[in-house]
Amino acid sequence: MIVADRKSLDDIVDMIGDADKVVVSACNACVTVCLAGGRREAGILASQLRIHAKEHGKDIEVREHSLARHCDAEFLSDLDEELEWADVMISMACGVGVNLASELHPKHRIVPGLNTTFYGATDAPGRWLEMCGGCGDCVLHKTGGICPIVRCAKSILNGPCGGSQDGKCEVDPETPCAWQEIIERLEAQGRGDDLIAVEPAKDWTTSFSGGRRRRVVEEIYEEDEEASA
């Protein structure tokens, strides 16, 4: 799932500026699971904004709202009425939701209430860990299912670097050394020798430095184009 953090109240107050009518729209998908942008968090933000306005002698109206998913156009049409009313909408969705809502409602001001951080999983209640960098050229079959691109601080493909000690990363003693984990896992599988070969320079063309990426399934895409034509 996509993991996110809420922006600070100060940042959000700055973004909304002098808007009088504000809608806070929660997303009931990933960001609800990671306790960043669900109904509960949207409710908290709305309350904080009301209190902040009162303390600063401002008169603003804040409405709360939620959608099943912000990353699907089908659900985003439910925003029409709220957007007509509001001066600004604070999206509690991930960056995908903010992009798509803004694309579908280009006349309206939609601002992010969250900082979208990573693709991850719940590790323990209240803790989420990054698992994948979406590089577009998966190497997990070679590394025992442990992603060196995002789990190694230097994205090393032939690790570990000299800073691995006691199984921890030199950059953060709370973070396990991904390469120590990779070596241990492959050895436990009797595949330690897989790590002897030198992994060549990675082809990053599938990654995110070439502008917006897209995925097309031709038959479906063309069929849909024809149907809508």
Q: Which residues bind other proteins (CB under 8 A)?
A: 153-168, 170-172, 177, 180, 183-184, 195-196, 198-202, 204
Nearest to 159 by CA among 198, 118, 105, 207: 198
> How many Cβ atoms are within 10 Å of 191's Cβ, its own excluded?
12
Structure tokens, 97: 């939701």
The kind and range of the H/E element at 122 are strand 114-124
SS3 105: coil
The DSSP-derived string for 171-223 is S-TTSBPHHHHHHHHHHHTT-GGGGSSPPPPP-GGGSGGGSS-----HHHHHH
- Rounded CA-CA distance 228/222 in Å is 10
SS3 116: strand
